[in-house]
Structure 1
Amino acid sequence: MKTGCFLLLVVYLLNIFTTTNSKRIPTLVSTQRLQRYIQKNPNPTRKVRIIETSFNPNATNNYTTEYAQGHIPQAVYYDLNKCVTSTPEIPRNLPELKCITDYMQSLGVWPDTYVVVYARFSVVQAFRTWWIFRLFGHKLVSVLDGGLQKWIADGYKTSTSIPLVDRSAFEGKLDRSLFRSFEDMVANAVTNKEQVIDARPPNSPWVSGKTSESGVIPGAKMVTFTTLLNADETMKNKPKIKTIFEDNGVNLTLPMVTYCNSGMTATVIAGAAHVLGLDIPIYYGSWNEWSRRAPENLKQRVIA
């Protein structure tokens, strides 16, 4: 698609899915706006792809059965575990580039397709997919605020129809600015170039437990991901997000990086920062890797 046509499409989609004149792709889309779009466009098109991304780490079907029994109309299913090779240090590893490119092509995600991702139960899974898509070069992506539960609570219908979509010509490209490796974090422990934000609850056994595997990266600011969400798992508004970050010692004018146990809940921190207009990287190996590889002087023990 030519650049001029692409920009016109972006403006068109932003007019549908946002309430402001900003040209920035919104982090979140409301259920009301998605429903309005589906009403006006009852059949899937290349312009918009709705994606369910629920998964159960303890199940083999990854919610495909539940997806088939009922999902948001036009939604296709994305498996977060696909293209990922787990290791003991990094169970939630990054997808392999060639595989994720092929997978996104099979989902009909073109370079100019606006993607709306949602999860069935935990919004964390939607934010992880949001981050993965952006990490591999697809910035036209938003999270459905509140996910499927909010959709149903608002009285909107689900569908059992599994849409057929044309294969795309998407080409993935890893955006190095959106993630940090173990080596990056070790270097940062010396330079302190980036503030480190821990997304986990302080009372988590992985944070304040009595085992050798618990602790935090020294100097980390504790911003529990759940504090950024309302009871219905919609994201809190900008002023509240800003206050939560600042009350926990985060300087929003300085660089930062976030982590959690396995690179999942940290994506909510990244999403909240994006609501504020910030792009922050995620240490994708997170504490699971850090606790196994970092020297003891780079592990801070926490007493609950």
Structure 2
Amino acid sequence: MTENPAPSAIVSAAELMAELAGSRPPVLLDVRWQLGGPNLRSAYDAGHLPGAVYVDLDRELAGPPGSGGRHPLPQTEEFGAVMRRAGVSADAPVVVYDGGQGWAAARAWWLLRWTGHTDVRVLDGGLAAWTAAGGPVTEDAVTVTEGDFKPNPGAVGLLDADAAAALARDGILLDARAGERYRGEIEPIDRVGGHIPGAVSAPTTENVDADGKFLAADALRARFTGLGVSGAAPVGVYCGSGVSGAHEVLALEVAGISAALYAGSWSEWSADPARPVATGPDPQ
């Protein structure tokens, strides 16, 4: 576990309002998304933060589904082109938001971090928190000045299936899915239910309050400590397809803890019948 002395992975609605009125406003990305449904471009068109650019998670923050999972990482250069078209530059701050759940925003945050952007944050509580704080929304079209961001992958930890299996044995591998999917009681999406042997159940929904905002850093640290996270071993996270897992990596970051993401996650792991599957509440 690596502790970060001053986490700045999230920004409140009030803080964002002040920054947008300042001399160096951040680039805004709207990543509203619904699992298994059509994209939410129509919701963006009906009202978004002034200046925000819509980014489609399924098409622009993931590659085509296949052996690498339901949301494999996009091709690096294609992702860079999407970010440049959205106005992202290497030396300019970026704030990402979604409808409030935070999973999609965290996916964009993680991809930008992984590809080397050093100043990217998620709007805590998303659009719901923004409007609750009196923030304006608009239907106006956005004119974008193309950015200069060039992705350089590897800035934060990324696991493949073999590395995730090793971390489950030798470190701490957190499973961010719902507990019933971890235990194998239900599996509504993937080939088989259960979890990677040795992984610890840690539903990402327990990292936020009723409004979808992250718990305080000390409360998150206490939660992860109770799950076995300490300075003695590295930490990794997986979920169903690498989306909610990114949200758990973000929660760990808020807590001051660095963690790697297994981007292929259960959708990749479970697609291979040769890989072992554990069921029930016990990690093994």
Tell whether 2:131 aligns with 1:152. Answer: yes
Displacement of 1:248:
2.2
Displacement of 1:88:
5.2
Q: Structure 1 pair 89/175, CA: closer, same or farther in 2 (3 Å)?
A: closer
What SS class does the counterpart of residue 203 from structure 1 fall into? helix
* Counterpart residue number, 2:16: 34
What SS class does the counterpart of residue 116 from structure 1 fall into? strand
| CA deviation vs aligned residue, 1:183-242 (integer Å, no higher than 9, x gap) | 3224445xx3331111122223x6332677111111212111111101111100011101
Tell me the distance in 1 between the aligned counterparts of 2:219 and 2:120: 23
Q: Which has the larger radius of gyration?
A: 1
Q: TM-score, normalised by structure 1?
A: 0.83
* Counterpart residue number, 1:198: 175
What SS class does the counterpart of residue 79 from structure 2 fall into? helix
Tell whether 2:214 aligns with 1:216. Answer: no
Tell whether 2:36 aligns with 1:54. Answer: no
Alignment of 1:6-17 (within 5 A): none
| 1:86 alignment partner, one of 60, 65, 83 | 65
Q: Identity of paired residues, percent?
A: 27
Q: Structure 1 pair 248/122, CA: closer, same or farther in 2 (3 Å)?
A: same
| 2:45 alignment partner, one of 55, 65, 68 | 68
Displacement of 1:290:
1.2
Tell me the distance in 2 between the aligned counterparts of 1:155 and 1:48: 19
Alignment of 1:1-304 (within 5 A): 26-40=8-22, 48-60=26-38, 62-83=39-60, 84-87=63-66, 89-175=68-154, 177-188=156-167, 192-204=169-181, 207-209=183-185, 213-293=192-272, 295=274, 298-302=276-280
Q: Which has the higher helix share?
A: 1
Displacement of 1:89:
5.0
Q: Structure 1 pair 293/39, CA: closer, same or farther in 2 (3 Å)?
A: same
Displacement of 1:117:
0.4
Tell me the distance in 2 between the aligned counterparts of 1:186 and 1:253: 18
Q: Structure 1 pair 268/59, CA: closer, same or farther in 2 (3 Å)?
A: closer
| CA deviation vs aligned residue, 1:132-167 (integer Å, no higher than 9, x gap) | 111121121000010000111122221112221211
Q: Kindly indicate whether the alpha-carbon contact (under 8 Å) linking 2:100 and 2:125 is maintained by their aligned counterparts in 1.
A: no
One-letter code aligned to 1:34: L
Tell me the distance in 2 between the aligned counterparts of 1:59 and 1:172: 29
Q: Kindly indicate whether the alpha-carbon contact (under 8 Å) linking 2:87 and 2:145 is maintained by their aligned counterparts in 1.
A: yes
What SS class does the counterpart of residue 234 from structure 1 fall into? coil
Q: TM-score, normalised by structure 2?
A: 0.88
Tell me the distance in 2 between the aligned counterparts of 1:303 and 1:178: 27
| CA deviation vs aligned residue, 1:228-280 (integer Å, no higher than 9, x gap) | 10111110001110111122233254211111111111112101111122221
Q: Kindly indicate whether the alpha-carbon contact (under 8 Å) linking 1:200 and 1:207 is maintained by their aligned counterparts in 2.
A: no
Tell me the distance in 1 between the aligned counterparts of 2:141 and 2:119: 23
Runs (4+) of structure 1 moved beyond 4 Å?
22-25
| CA deviation vs aligned residue, 1:99-144 (integer Å, no higher than 9, x gap) | 1111111111110010000001421111111111111211210000
| CA deviation vs aligned residue, 1:1-23 (integer Å, no higher than 9, x gap) | xxxxxxxxxxxxxxxxxxxxx99
Q: Kindly indicate whether the alpha-carbon contact (under 8 Å) linking 2:7 and 2:256 is maintained by their aligned counterparts in 1.
A: no
Q: Structure 1 pair 223/25, CA: closer, same or farther in 2 (3 Å)?
A: closer
Q: Kindly indicate whether the alpha-carbon contact (under 8 Å) linking 1:51 and 1:77 is maintained by their aligned counterparts in 2.
A: yes
Tell me the distance in 2 between the aligned counterparts of 1:289 and 1:299: 12
Structure 1: 5+ residue runs without aligned partners? Answer: 1-21
One-letter code aligned to 2:176: A
Q: Kindly indicate whether the alpha-carbon contact (under 8 Å) linking 2:173 and 2:200 is maintained by their aligned counterparts in 1.
A: yes
Figure out how many residues of one structure are paired with residues of the other and give that number.
274
Q: Structure 1 pair 137/294, CA: closer, same or farther in 2 (3 Å)?
A: farther
Displacement of 1:24:
5.0
One-letter code aligned to 1:56: Q
Tell me the distance in 1 between the aligned counterparts of 2:166 and 2:268: 15
